[in-house]
Structure 1
Amino acid sequence: MIGQRINERYDITAAIGGGGMAYVYKAEDRILDRTVALKVLQPQHAEEGAFIERFRREAEAAASLGHQNVVEIYDIGDEDEVYYIVMEYVEGETLKSHIQRRGPLPLEEVVELFNQIASAIAHAHQFGIVHRDVKPHNILLDESGNAKVTDFGIARATSGGQTLTQTESIMGTANYLSPEQARGGVVTERSDTYSLGIVLYEMVTGELPFGGDSAVSVALQHVQRPLPDPAVKRESLPQPLINAILYATAKDPAQRYASVQDFQQDVKTCLSLERRSEAPALMDEVDDEATIEMPAVSQNDYADVKEEQPAPADPPPKKKKRFLLPLFAAFIVFFGGLLAAFTIVPMMFGLDDVDVPDVEELTIDEAEEELEAADLSADIEREYNDELEEDTVIRQNPGAGRTVKEGSDIQLFVSDGPETEEMPDVIDLPLSSAEEELAAFEDVETESEEVSGLEEDTVIDQSPEAGERIVVQEETVVLTVSERPEVTLDNLQGESEDVVRSYVSSHNLAHNFAEAHHDSVEAGRVIEQQPGPYETVREGSEVSFTLSLGPEETEEEEEEEPPFETVEAVVPVDIADEESDHAYEVLITYEDAESEGEATYIEEEINASTTYHVPLIVTPETDGQYTLYIDGEEMQANEFSYDG
């Protein structure tokens, strides 16, 4: 059907998987522009009116389940006898693939996933919907690790008393089948609890509790054999977690949890320190007669019984007739086989044996044609493979040449091609950071493009685009990084600072200013620039400018006057006979720091006593002195030094 369009709306683009009743495809919703999963019933069921009506009714009931851990159903319809359900497309893997890939899961992850799965199942029970086909194949994990349960309602649609999980494809369900389902008894919410307990067992141990070559042998073990101790397969399991698995998988529905909510709440606390000393659960044995007798019970009758059933945390005591145990042990095996003969085994009779064809390394379409020609169906599991192309069968189970009943499911493990990852988004990162982000890629190429206003070597485009699914080892990544445009500098010598600032801003250039005196360039204008005029630089480069301070002012140096002091020399001239008419000729000479040699201070005639005050300038280097002459005869001389 790949390439077809359903209802003028859904374009089928790829096969996802399938089983005995339906195929699942990836499709694009042309109206809402989103990716969806399209589940299409196989053609052989399109002619059963009662089946189709119940299928539609149950699908509509499933569509009413709005829960974050339930795959959402968008649309239900038919076209040209093609009946389909449109569902939410979950990018990721099934829980089955997750366990196969990783083995036993970390206990914290187990508790988290189980809480989500149980929440979805409990939500369905509140709406009266019993899943009937709880298994890891029907639990999807998105890329964030969140669980989403799918196939609600479909397993409940019946035709002629058979569940949609038909006898021919019982192998896919038998591994998780409750004992009452295997016996053909009444299926209730506690049947989902049992299947959920088997899923929990597989998450914890990485293995199924029972194995066998046929659906019959596996189903009989669910009916007859006690559940293998999970602690044997994985040491150091907390006892509360072991107890939870045992309660959920009790052979007698009455001994199981009263509801999935009770199961969920018990598992939530199973890793807590407060419960680490919890005693092992003691499960009552199933009555031998309850195994042998298969009374016809109506749904209403069962509902009455269910109300009286106690929770498994406090199971009702039973009186043990220990003296009869050896006798009953002999009958258990006999009546167990008798039970199989009257319930499961007859379903397999009347079908011819066919040889399983070799479909390995064929495409899905080719393999399905081969299986259909042999009256067999394909149960598809997808996994990554580095060697085979997408949609090619990697291996099959049972293998080629094995004999099975016609109508059986052959499990096909189909290549999804090499494992893909989302291409990281490195746009707007510096190239160095982008290269670190893409370290796992072997081939990273770069090319440049001139872009204004961005830092150099910023990633502006990438191929493949961010979010695109790619194979890291095979992909060549091309990064387009920014390169600043080139700028040819103008001659800005002689321009003002404002002109320079405007120029560098409009050309996305960095700049710095220095200042210097210049005899001919006016103050405030450019003396020189580096890089020089007409040189080419990249946007963002720095240009240096020297602005003029104008001519340098020259100041005359004032000679520093040496230190000096003025000394006043007092020169008295006494005349003894003042009444005499004789006049005396007085001459006073001096020499100091300011006189150039000997100089005359005063020269005069006197006939009365007179006192002269002679100022002398003395310095540290030059002393001052005076000489008094009367009538031409030296009468007195004194010398004065700088006193500091």
Structure 2
Amino acid sequence: MAVSDTLIGTVFDGRYKIVRKLGAGGMADVYLAEDQELGRRVAIKILNDRHAADDQFIERFRREAKNAAGLSHPNIVSIYDRGEAEGTYYIAMEFLDGRSLKELIVGRGPAPIKISIEYARQILAAIGFAHRHGIVHRDIKPHNVLVGPEGRLKVTDFGIARSGASQMTEVGSIIGTAQYLSPEQARGAPVDQTSDLYSLGVVLFELLTGQVPFTGDTPLEIAMKHLSEPPKAPSELRPEVPHDLDLVVLRALAKDPSDRYESAEEMDADLERVLQGLPVGDETAAAATAVLSGAGAMAAAPTSIIARPPSAAPPPRPAPPGATPPAGYYGYEGPPRRRRPVWPWVLAVLLLAAAGVAAWFAYTKIQDQLNNTKPVPVPNVIDLRVELAKTKLTEHGFVPKVKPSTSETVPKGVVFDQNPLAGSKLAKNSPVQITVSTGPPQVPVPNVIGKNRDDAVATLSNAGLTYMVVSVHSPKPPDTVTGQFPHPGTHVKKGSKVQINVSTGPQPVTVPNVVGQPFDQASSTLQNAGFGVKRTNVDSNQPADTVVSESPTSAAPGSTITLSVSKGPKQSTVPDVTSEDEASAKSDLQSAGFKVVVQRQTVTDPGLDGIVLSQSPHGGMKADQGSTVTIVVGQTAPPPPPPTP
């Protein structure tokens, strides 16, 4: 089946109802679809007709699905499903209701410096995660970065990404988009993770200035500039760019991969320093200086690579000495005929021409003055982008005056009011005020790090922001804010959500079990494990100074553990039960809280039968309650058996 827009309204692969087309690329078409099994919206990327039978494109398509499916990260578009259906191949992925970063740059121009850094750090988080999993993206560009409604960036299109060990090649081709190619990609050489960092340097340059560092009429011309031409510092195009941010961008754009950042984490650390107003390291400054000096650039490209315009024909060589000039060149027969001078006539013609030109200029000047004072209608520039509106007013002879103003509904950079209104008549060169949206009202994110949870929430609410609490283990005291996103000082739309990380205290660990140990031994064991000890004496049948319980059994390092320690059993006076009968003796001892053990002793006196002869401990002594008292009870010997007859 041919894949086309006839898919809209159909159910693809028995599961995905196609809603509308989102876009098309050189390799695939992307549709918005409803997953009828899971009841969610997804983006379906379907290999287009002309590539559905091309083994190389099919392999690239499968590689994209495989690479991205193995990367689960908040800044990478999630892959839900992949498969083959209706004569082609597809990928079902996360749908983001937003725009590409390229659309934002084209539509809004350069981003605020802090937003540019924040966006770059989110992309670094994504590609750094991919690099740690052995994947090099190889096509980092703003077209492949999607911006969600709350400013969350997600990197997509791992179609030309490769693992570090991959030997797959595409002979004779330069993979990627020319404006964002690394020099090694332009040469067709092997690439590593520093190639992605170079491309990100181009993206950050574009975020800051609204333009890419290298342009040209052909992809080959642009590629040669990546190889041989040093980039400008962003501050040359936008003076408010900090010097240290220039250094970060220029180091990322080093021609030699060994001069760039070694990892996404290293580049992110420098961007964090720039945000905090701290200088970047000497290594970054040295690398950036080398980039500006042209270090690592190739020599000028040979003329066989980029064709030069045809040169003018060489001038004719003079005739050799003695040669006869051709007829009509300058020879004639006989002496020249005397002529009248022509300069008076030339002078007269020039004077007449000058008079005519002066009259013409006088006439046009009078006409211009008349035209400038003649009222003309003001054009309608509402709903136009500011640059287009200014151009239109200027072309009609007016002087545009820009008035910035916030708007909840009108996109940033778009005119939503003008004064005078369209159709009003004014003399040329009159001012026309245009009110341009600066986007929704922005508020700075306050710094709540170090505050307790309640104070942080109150601070955010007072600033017109909402919040989301994430509990984290931390050495900081419980209920203390340890981090926040967006970072302090970032300007965001009023009502935006700020994530705050709130400490729940250090990570709990298991407390050593010391129950049954003597207190001194138990205390030493706990202190060696990093805990404090508190003693509580309790009544117990256990021997004195024995630990009978501990609390808690799981706690953060440095916590205090309470040990319940036996005071030893209670003691009572042992009753004197000698001379009592066995039953009375046992009753008296048990009533006093003692256990009784009976031993028998043979007696000859029948009067001592069943009588307690002695006891241990003796009557009147102190003994632990619950301990054992042994009594010796008399027992007469049985009579001897009668004699046998």
Q: Same fold (TM over 0.5)?
A: no
TM-score by length of 1: 0.43
TM-score by length of 2: 0.43
- Kindly indicate whether structure 1 or structure 2 has the higher relative contact order, using CA contacts under 8 Å at least 6 residues apart: 1
